[in-house]
Copies of this chain bind each other. A is one copy, B any other.
Amino acid sequence: MSPLNEAAGAITRAQGFRAAGLACGIKQATPDLALVAADAAVPTAAVFTTSRAAAAPVQLCRRHLAQSDLCRAVIFNSGRANAATGKQGLDNAEEMVAAVAQQLDCPSEQVLVCSTGVIGLPLPMDKIRSGIEQAAAQLAATPEAGHDAANAILTTDTRAKEVVVHGEGYVIGGMAKGAAMVRPDMATMLALVTTDAVVAPDMLARALAAANARSINAINIDGCQSTNDTVIVLASGASKVQPAEAAFTEQLTGVCKDLARQIVGDAECATRVITLEVSGAPDDTAAREIGKFVADSDLVRSSFYGGDPNWGRIVQALGVCSVPVDPEEVIIRYAGVDTCRGGIAFPFDEAALVAELERGDFTVEIVVGAGPGSAQVLTADLTPEYVSFNGERS
């Protein structure tokens, strides 16, 4: 995995893509509009929030992808989520893609749209209209342009999230914005991945589903799924290299895992990334559900904040998990140290373990039985600052 400095401008590292990012005035003097365009309509796959309150841009993307799995461009805005905006919101999302289609001279159906920010407020369409014209004029294949786009999709994130992975003869690059809550309203995770590998739409969809399940869909920061969550991947084929599906899926998973870790590492007001390694479940899906359930517990995440090996709270959460867990099978290990076996206390050197946990990020292993299923789930600690921040009025 590349470090961030090599990853800057990730979204234009694959051949066949141009990008732009700029401030059009939705937010105050910070970048808030990004455009990423392929040189032609290319195979595209996406996954979206399962919320029934899906925002207008999500609804529009779903419709467009049902009409065409070849896309030309994705337009992003930050600052307003265009969620809970009714018919006017859908009209505005359609106007955004139509404006991009006009600039790129392509059908509207080949343009996707992502929004993130405050919900319930209308988009300032005048600013967005002129922003789109300007962005189309600035489109460039440079790392700088790619990095501008990565910055323009941020909200309460403190830094851009980018990653580049090199396959055999092809490149995959990704950018994301975090599941940090958007003050004052909404978590949104957006990610765009571009590759110059030659990948047919159906294989791209399978690879994204597999990669997403093991990465972005395996993080849980505060249990709040957004109205706008979206992951899109575009494959230009410009490298002329056609990878095997297994290899490509593995690379794409690497990109998505790296973005997921960056998102959790920059979670709003969090101080630590905690990796939950769940094993012994009936299958991988059950293991992931168990990990996400544990990460839903305010009591567990408060104890992570305190660096407290409080295995009792994990046992308590497991006791009411939607996936049945037999407490007598449970083993819990903090940073490699057994604290609980068979669902009851196991002696450990508390002072030594606490000192270890105080150093920062740590891993908690949760064994729930003898089954073959395992999963890695990332979460962040719950902090007093998170509550203060999200308790403030806009």
Q: Could you list which residues of chain A lie within 8 angstroms of chain B, going by C-beta atoms?
A: 49-54, 83-86, 89, 118-121, 181, 184-187, 222-227, 296-299, 302-303, 305-308, 310-313, 315-320, 324-328, 340, 342-345, 354, 381-394
Contact = CB atoms under 8 A, between A and B. Distances in A.
B222 A393 contact: no
9 closest A-B pairs (Cβ-Cβ)?
A53-B319, A306-B391, A384-B384, A51-B319, A302-B390, A119-B312, A305-B391, A53-B327, A86-B344
Given A53-B319, A316-B119, A343-B84, A392 B223 contact: no
B316 A51 contact: yes
**Stoichiometry, copies per complex:** 2
B298 A224 contact: yes
Nearest to A328: B86
Most buried by B among A84, A315, A328: A84
Given A302-B386, A316-B53, A316-B119, A354 B393 contact: yes
B387 A387 contact: yes
A99 B284 CA distance: 47
Given A53-B315, A185-B312, A384 B388 contact: yes
A191 B298 CA distance: 24
Contact of A387 (B121, B313, B386, B393): B386
A49 B319 CA distance: 10
A84 B327 contact: yes
Given A53-B327, A340-B84, A345-B120, A316 B387 contact: no
Contact of A345 (B51, B52, B84): B84
Contacts of A340: 84, 120
Contact of A391 (B49, B296, B303, B391): B303
Contacts of A181: 299
B308 A184 contact: yes
Contacts of A306: 390-393
A285 to B, nearest CB: 18
Contacts of A187: 299, 316
25 contacts: A49-B319, A52-B319, A52-B324, A52-B325, A53-B343, A83-B315, A84-B327, A86-B328, A120-B311, A120-B340, A120-B345, A121-B345, A184-B308, A185-B312, A222-B299, A223-B297, A227-B315, A302-B386, A302-B390, A303-B390, A306-B391, A308-B391, A308-B394, A310-B393, A384-B391
A296 B119 contact: no
A120 B302 contact: no
Contacts of A393: 306-308, 310, 354
A209 B392 CA distance: 40
Nearest to A299: B224
A388 B383 CA distance: 7
Nearest to A81: B312
A292 to B, nearest CB: 13
A82 to B, nearest CB: 11
A86 B224 contact: no
Contact of A384 (B50, B317, B387): B387
Contacts of A389: 302
Contact of A52 (B313, B327, B354): B327
